[in-house]
Structure 1
Amino acid sequence: MSREDLNWEVEEACREAWPAALETVALGWMFRRSGGRIRRPNSANPLRGQRGAPEGVVDAAEAFYGGHGQAPLFRVPEIAAELEPELDRRGYGWEGGTIHLHADIDALAGGQFDDVTVSQAPSERWFEARFRTGGYDGAERRVFREMTGLIVGDRAFVSCERDGQIAAFAFGVIRNGLLVIEAVETDAGFRQQGLGRRTVGGLIGWARRAGAQAGCLQVVADNTPARALYASLGFNRELYRYHYRRKTTAA
């Protein structure tokens, strides 16, 4: 597989691992909307292939998001950066620099652990842990619950318990043999104990048994602890980066 093919395979798998409630395609871009604060399912994302002229794409996105009472937000990966000059011209700021990491499944450290639970669907306790660490309000909890029900493909929700509560958790989705790792978090009271590594390792072990051939994830560029965790698991290959563009000046 060429580097370009791999990049777009990862781009699609990561998008589908966190589906949006509403997705509309126009001019080679997908406009996604779910509500809540999470940027990825509330942003315009490029699709592989021919895309429209930047001015037309930005016009269409502004009309779409404006029609829903939402400020337009663009997710701009390095592999599809043609909107940058037009976004600069219209006063869109830059935020949320993120890295795509990738590794063959055999290069990743994973296994089965007695204290790591793997389930096909999220339990109420898993949701409670996610909401507790994420600080979600009522509407955002509903959005997140609905998102998990939209996921297509093999999926697993993993958790690691300490002192009678879920101390670390994550979920993963396999798309076309590629494991996408999502929502990795350790409760603040249980950090520096290796629980995140055990939890993600349990997810990797599940994916290997399920026939995944490779794994990928997205990590905020300046999140040093998370990057160290993923490097320790074998995620040492950076594919490409992306960031968001949000309007910061009046039109």
Structure 2
Amino acid sequence: MTDDDLNWRMEEACRGAWPAAIETVVDGWLLRRSGGRIRRANSVNPLRGRRGAPDAVIDAAEAFYAGHGQTPLFRVPDIANELEAALVGRGYQLEGGTIHLHAGIDDLAEVRDEHVTVSPMPGEDWFAARFRMGAYDDTDRRVFRAMTGLIADDKAFVSCERDNEIAALAYGVIRDGLLVVESVETDARFRLQGLGRRTVGGLIDWAWRAGASAACLQVVADNTPARALYASLGFSRELYRYHYRRKAIAA
């Protein structure tokens, strides 16, 4: 498998692990919409293969999102960055900066903990903990709940308890033999105890048993603690990066 094949395999797997409520294809680009503030589910994403001229794609996306009362947002990965110059020229502002990491399943650390629970569906306690740990308003909670129900591939929701409550959690999705690690969170009261490592380790163990051949994840570039956590588990190979461009709104 070439690097290009691997990059696009990861791109597709990550989209499948975080599906949008509405997805429309325009000139080789996927326009995703779910409502709320979650960027990945409300942005324009490239598809592999032939893609349309930048200005035409941007015009179509702006019309699409305007029709839904949303600000246009483009996700721009290094492997398909041909819209970048046109977006900058139109005044789109830079947001975020994320790294894709990859590792073979046998290259990852074996971490098992009897306090880690793995379930094929998220329970109410899992959702409650997720929303407690993140800045979710009512709309984001509804969107996130709906999103987890749209995942079509094999999935697992993992949590680690301390003091009779969920202290760390994550979920994972396997597509085409590739585990995508998502939504890793540790309650601030329980950090620096290795719970995030044990939780992700539970996902890796589940994926290994399910026959996954590799694993990947997305991590914010300046999130030093998270990058250290993933490095300790064996996620040492960076594939590519992406950022967002959002339409500037006049005051």
Interval containing the TM-score (normalised by the shorter chain): over 0.9
Deviation at 1:240, TM superposition (A): 0.2
Q: Which residue of 2 aligns with 1:182?
A: 182
- Determine the structure 2 residue equivalent to 1:30: 30
Q: Residue 193 of structure 1: SS of its match in structure 2?
A: coil
Task: Kindly indicate whether the alpha-carbon contact (under 8 Å) linking 2:20 and 2:32 is maintained by their aligned counterparts in 1.
Answer: yes
Q: Is the 8 A contact 2:16 2:153 kept in 1?
A: no
Matched residue SS, 1:30:
strand
CA distance, structure 2, for counterparts of residue 165 and residue 66 of structure 1: 42
Return the alpha-carbon distance in structure 2 between the equivalents of residues 128 and 219 of structure 1. 23
Corresponding residue for residue 96 of structure 2? 96
Once the two structures are superposed, what CA deviation does each residue of 1:94-145 show, in whole Å capped at 9, x if it has no partner? 1110000000000011343200000000011000000101131222111111
8 Å contact 1:91–1:249 — kept in the other structure?
no
How far off is 1:215 after superposition?
A: 0.1
Query: Match for residue 15 of structure 1?
Result: 15
Q: Work out the CA distance in 2 between the residues paired with 1:121 and 1:152.
A: 12
Q: Which residue of 1 aligns with 2:142?
A: 142
> What corresponds to 1:108 in structure 2?
108
CA distance in 2, matches of 1:105, 1:37: 33
Q: How far apart in 1 are the matches of 2:240 and 2:201?
A: 23
Residue aligning to 2:159: 159
Matches within 5 A, 1:49-88: 49-88=49-88
**2:97 counterpart SS class:** strand
Which residue number corresponds to residue 125 of structure 1? 125
AA in 2 matched with 1:205: D
Aligned to 1:228: 228
CA distance in 2, matches of 1:37, 1:91: 21
What is the deviation of 1:249? 5.4
Aligned partner of residue 125 in structure 2, secondary structure = helix
AA paired with 2:92? Y
Instruction: Report whether the alignment pairs 1:213 with 2:213.
Output: yes
Q: Which residue of 2 aligns with 1:48?
A: 48
Superimposed CA distance per residue, residues 147-167 of structure 1 (whole angstroms, 9 cap, x where no aligned partner): 000001110000000001000
Give 1:248 deviation, angstroms. Answer: 2.1
TM-score, normalized by length of structure 1? 0.98
Contact kept, 8 Å, 1:32 with 1:43, in 2: the verdict is: yes
Instruction: Tell me which amino acid in the other structure corresponds to 2:112.
Output: Q
Which residue is 2:5 aligned to?
5
Number of residue equivalences: 251
In the alignment, the residues of structure 1 paired with residue 174 and residue 245 of structure 2 have an alpha-carbon distance, to the nearest angstrom, of 29
Q: Secondary structure at the match of 2:36?
A: coil
**Contact 1:110–1:203 at 8 Å: present in 2 too?**
no
1:110 and 1:200 in contact (8 A); partners too: no
Q: Which residue identity is paired with 2:53? A: A
In structure 2, what is the Cα distance between the partners aligned to 1:183 and 1:249?
30
- Whichever residue aligns with residue 58 of structure 2, its letter is V
Letter matched to residue 220 of structure 2 = V
- Gaps (5+ residues) in structure 2? none
Q: Which residue identity is paired with 1:36?
A: G
Alpha-carbon separation, structure 1, partners of 2:110 and 2:121? 20
CA contact (8 A) 1:92 1:249 kept: no
For 1:240 and 1:140, locate their aligned partners in 2 and report how far apart those are by CA, in whole Å. Answer: 28
Q: Deviations over 1:30-55 (max 9, x none)?
A: 00011111100000000000000000
Name the SS of the counterpart of 2:55 in structure 1.
Answer: helix
Distance 1:37 1:214 in 2: 30
* In structure 1, C-alpha distance between the alignment counterparts of 2:41 and 2:230, rounded to whole Å: 23
SS at match of 2:94: strand
- Percent identity, aligned pairs only, is 74
